[in-house]
Amino acid sequence: MFSSLFNSSKNRGNSAFIHLFLLAYTLLALFPVFLIIINAFKTRKGIFNDPLALPTSATFSTKGFEKVMANSDFFHYFSNSLIITLGALFFILLLGAMIAWALSEYKFFGSSFMRFFMAIGIIVPIRLGSVSILETIVSLDLVNTKTALILVYIAQGLPMAVFILSEFMAQIPKELKEAARCDDVSEYKIFFQIILPLTRPAIATVAVFSIIPIWNDLWFPLILAPGEEARTVTLGVQQFIGQYVTDWNSVLASLTLAVVPVLILYMIFSKHIIRGLTAGAVK
């Protein structure tokens, strides 16, 4: 009896420690976002006097948002980021799911090498090939276009998408697929009507893990599409950062407007993300 009581108290202690650690990590991760949002609604003097304080009647100001709307083409940058992100995400999910299905379901010559190749894509950052990527984009005459960024982000997101989705698809019971084949259902219908609906939690996980680095990226927009036509939100914010003087009100206001879509997306797909993680989407 004493042993069971001891084990029970030990388990409660471990659970409390885990929850405390996760809570501390959550606060640490959300603190920069909280800091950006509260300072976006403060005057410049209020930001520098006490950046950790909430806006008061004396420090509250929306001047930053007014400047962003008046002095920059923010909605143009926002629409560019939205088109690039959603376009890349669509092909990452579609191509990633198709490749993952092929690697998890069929055994063919070179499948092991493809798995290894995709694993390397996760380990090695794509930015190491920036010079070669830039040369390729120039040779294809795609500089300062959304297409260039979409292609690069597809290449960036595919390895992780294939890794997560293939591990998830491998856990789908074989009896389900064999029963469909016995009913003379084509492989295309099996994939689109059976496999994809069952992998929605994993797809939501991949979507969030892919969309955040694409939306927040500054590196590739800066070297591949710095022109006004294809400029993204993160690159558009840079116009308020000067060599000697930085308009922090406008910078923080722009970042606040840019972070809203990511937060909305996470809130929409949070339930599917948790299901994907707990069901073994990342093994």
Q: Which helix (H) or strand (E) holds 206?
A: helix 200-216
Is residue 42 one of the residues assigned to a domain?
yes
Containing structural domain, residue 159: 69-278
Specify the pLDDT at position 231.
87
Instruction: Please give the model's pTM, rounded to 2 decimal places.
Output: 0.80
Is residue 48 one of the residues assigned to a domain?
yes
Q: Which of 61, 82, 107 is the last residue of a domain?
A: 61
Q: How confident is the prediction along the chain (283 residues), in pLDDT tens digits per residue? A: 545 554 555 566 677 888 888 889 888 888 888 888 888 888 888 888 888 888 888 888 888 888 888 777 888 888 899 999 999 999 999 999 999 988 888 877 777 788 788 878 888 888 888 999 999 999 999 999 999 999 999 999 999 899 888 888 888 888 888 888 888 888 888 888 888 888 888 888 888 888 888 988 889 998 998 888 888 888 887 777 765 667 778 888 888 888 877 777 777 766 666 665 555 444 4
Residues 2 and 107 in one domain: no
How far is residue 30's CA from residue 22's CA, in Å, rounded to a whole number?
12
Residues with Cβ within 8 Å of 176's Cβ and at least 6 positions away in sequence, in order, are 194
Is residue 283 one of the residues assigned to a domain?
no
Mind giving me the DSSP string for 97-155? HHHHHHHHH---TTHHHHHHHHHHHHHS-GGGGHHHHHHHHHHTT-TTSHHHHHHHHHH
Is there a contact between 212 and 140 (Cβ–Cβ < 8 Å)? no
Residues 84 and 189 in one domain: yes
Residues 156 and 34 in one domain: no
Residues 57 and 73 in one domain: no
Is there a contact between 122 and 156 (Cβ–Cβ < 8 Å)? no
Residues 44 and 90 in one domain: no
Residues 4 and 76 in one domain: no
Token pair in block for residue 176: 């389900």
Give, in degrees to the nearest 5, the angle at Cα 182 between 181 and 186. Answer: 30
Residues 123 and 189 in one domain: yes
Residues 23 and 81 in one domain: no
Residues 48 and 113 in one domain: no
Residues 57 and 153 in one domain: no
Q: Which of 17, 35, 61 is the last residue of a domain?
A: 61
Give, in degrees to the nearest 5, the angle at Cα 104 between 99 and 106. Answer: 90
Residues 114 and 19 in one domain: no
Q: What is the total count of domains within the chain?
A: 2
Specify the pLDDT at position 139.
93
- CATH code, domain with 138: 1.10.3720.10
Residues 49 and 77 in one domain: no
Is residue 22 one of the residues assigned to a domain?
yes
